[in-house]
Structure 1
Amino acid sequence: MAVNGSGRTQSSPPPEGIYVPVATFFAAEGSSNYNKTSPPLDLETQTRHSLFLVEGGIKGLVILGSTGEAIFLKPRERNELISSQRKALDDAGYKDRPIIAGTATQNIDETLEMIKESKEAGAEYAMVLSPGYFASSTSQTGIQKWFEAVADEAVLPVLIYHYPGVTNNLYIAPSTFEKLAAHPNIVGTKLSHGIIDDQTLIAASPRIDHEKFYVFTGLGQNLLPVLAIGGVAAIDGLAGVFPRLVVRLFNMFNETLSKGLTKKDISEMRDLQFSICEGEKLVARWGVVGVKEACARVWGMGSRTGGRLPLAGGFEDGEAEWSKWSKTFDELKNIEEKFKKEGKEG
């Protein structure tokens, strides 16, 4: 790391690759330690899922993001979750797979405390959700100063988490990203929206040093176009169910950059993107509830009803709802298993 002109050491972005915003697994209804108000963590399933992901080529884990139901966890549980998965990855020989810890608070001091505790628990990066409580009254200058205040004191490199869907539609303009990208401790962003022109204005901006600031799409359904405009990869929910599918598209795109692009390559990448888009419809409709439902039904991993209120219980009409998705997910499972047999990822 180099020393920036501000005097602060220039932080490095996380390694390029596909990351997963992992679901947090809780004890299922009917289990011996189940509590309907606050079911305990199911760390056994959590570890099984983490290893399933990295064995499928996932570069690292985002723990305690929106998919991780971070707002429902107590500080002790946050630290236990991070430390258990850091140990599980290290013990399995995956010390090179970073953990990015999410924060979702409005208060700067509380955000900094979470980042500090996350580092102590084993995280290497912090993904900081924008403060959206007063979204209608917040200026772009206010957003900039809030993130700069966090990044100035944060003990981990910061990625900006821009997700209007959970922040009262708070908008961060591309011009604001250009200013924030110059901060030596802000190393990238996860853009969880489909505004492709804004994504282009950030990922392709000549006023951003893209060696120091990485743009990740939060939507796997946008992966191929975002790679084409200068984004580095995705932090994607569907990859939590079918890691090899999403990793394969990422790898194919980067392989074509070195060997040269052919019409066959374009056709294969379009087919993969199409398959990903079909699966992402479930994630877009049901979020973490859909991810957990799919993990349980496709791989027997976790419980379809293992959440915390108000998300506990899974689909309201489970079998009828899953019947709308089962054909698509059976096809995606076949593709995933085919890629596993080929052994190119992992």
Structure 2
Amino acid sequence: MVLILNPAMTSKEKTTNGHGSSRPLTPGIYVATVVFFDPETEDIDFKTVASHAIRLARAGITGITVQGSNGEATHLSHDERKAVTTRTREALDAAGFTSMPLIVGCGAQSTRETISLCKEAHQSGGDYALVLPPSYYQGLHSPSTITDFFTEVADQSPIPIIIYNFPGGAAGLDLDSSTLIKLGRHPNIVGCKFTCGNTGKLNRVAAALKDRDDDEAPFLCFGGSGDFTLPTLMAGARASSQGLPISRRSCV
């Protein structure tokens, strides 16, 4: 049985944003995949990457994330990241899942490299970019520097942006709700993944951006972990992005 997280979508929700994606980001369960390696050569096992993506899709999930925390993006070269995205998209299309959105992790420590990763994700078949804030110098950040970073990335990315609020993966950097609401007004920022686990923050952001004043795309709040799926739904989330891709039916 597939868990339904939303009522019938409106015509507005079926549209895409100004930068465009042919696969709308719809409410539901999203899974962050792992990347597989050959145990002898340590090269990426692309055959298993492809077959695993198809296995997940057949379980009834809404979308797939590659190059996330589970996807070990920090261990991969740019070429390897592009190849994983390409093989995943090709596998989904070949298996008949041509409408399934593919989210690609694109976080980096500079604005320039983050934009470059977004462009590469687009060229490789990705539909959305999941972006962590730069965190190496997190002690020097302020709400304005974070806002400037995401705004510039969103302005220049050819695919829509999903903010990844994951303090554990960003040296403790935890974006506040006011910053997220401000960024959520950008037409090319279409969601936030709350791996911070703060349902109060999610509730405030979801309520503030529920009726975002644009005709391009809704703003989707994602619960960031399977262990608080129900609380995040009660708080206003309409999607959940989870990291248990081996037991694919745990939440669908």
Q: Relative contact order (C-alpha < 8 Å, sep 6+): which is higher?
A: 2
Match of 2:177 in 1: 174
Residue 4 of structure 2 is matched in structure 1 by: none
Is residue 2:68 matched to residue 1:65? yes
1:152-176 alpha-carbon deviations (Å, 9 max, x no partner)? 1110000001110011111211011
- How big is the shift at 1:228? 1.2
Alignment TM-score, normalising by the size of structure 1: 0.64
**Structure-2 residue corresponding to 1:25:** 36
Tell me which stretches of 4 or more aligned residues in structure 1 moved more than 3 Å: 10-13
* Residue 126 of structure 1: how far off its partner (Å): 0.6
Q: Does the CA-based 8 Å contact 1:178-1:207 persist in structure 2?
A: no
SS at match of 1:18: strand
What TM-score, normalized to structure 2? 0.87
**3-state SS of paired residue (1:165):** helix
Decide whether aligned partners of structure 1 residues 47 and 10 sit closer, same or farther in structure 2, where only a CA change above 3 A counts.
closer
Indicate the residue corresponding to 1:112 in structure 2: 115
Q: How far off its partner does 1:76 sit?
A: 1.1
Distance in 1 of aligned mates of 2:28 and 2:121: 22
Gaps spanning 5+ residues in structure 1: where?
A: 3-7, 248-346
Between the aligned partners of 2:206 and 2:169, the Cα distance in structure 1 is: 22
Name the structure where helix makes up a greater proportion of residues: 1
Matched residues, number: 233
Q: Which whole-Å CA distance do the structure 2 matches of 1:136 and 1:123 have between them?
A: 32
Give me the identity figure in percent. 36
Aligned mate of 1:143, from 142, 146, 165 = 146
Q: Is the 8 A contact 2:119 2:158 kept in 1?
A: yes
Choose from 222, 231, 242 the match for 2:237: 231
| Residue correspondence of structure 1 range 305-316 to structure 2 within 5 A | none
Which residue pairs with 2:247 in the alignment? 242
Helix, strand or coil: the match of 2:251? helix
What amino acid is the match of 1:95? T
Partner letter of residue 104 of structure 1?
G
How many angstroms apart in 2 are the aligned matches of 1:150 and 1:10? 12
User: Given the superposition, is the C-alpha separation of residues 108 and 192 from structure 1 closer, same or farther in structure 2, using an over 3 Å criterion?
Assistant: same
- Flag the 1:206–1:97 CA change in 2: closer, same or farther, 3 A: closer
5 Å matches for 1:1-346?
9=18, 14-28=25-39, 31=40, 34=41, 39-205=42-208, 209=212, 212-238=218-244, 240-247=245-252
Q: Distance in 2 between matches of 1:23 and 1:9?
A: 31
Please give the per-residue CA displacement for 1:114-141, whole angstroms capped at 9, x wherever unaligned.
1111111111111111111121221011
Stretches of structure 2 lacking an aligned partner (at least 5 in a row): 1-10
Deviations 1:166-187 (A, max 9, x none): 1111121101111101001000
Which protein has the larger Cα radius of gyration, Structure 1 or Structure 2? Answer: 1
Question: If each structure's strand is expressed as a fraction of its own residues, which one has the higher value?
Answer: 2
Partner SS, residue 250 of structure 2: helix
Cα distance in 1 for partners of 2:72, 2:170 equals: 15
Letter in 2 for 1:21: A
Deviation of the 1:10 alpha carbon: 7.0
| 2:82 maps to amino acid | N
Root-mean-square deviation (Å): 2.0
CA contact (8 A) 2:36 2:44 kept: yes
Match of 1:334 in 2: none
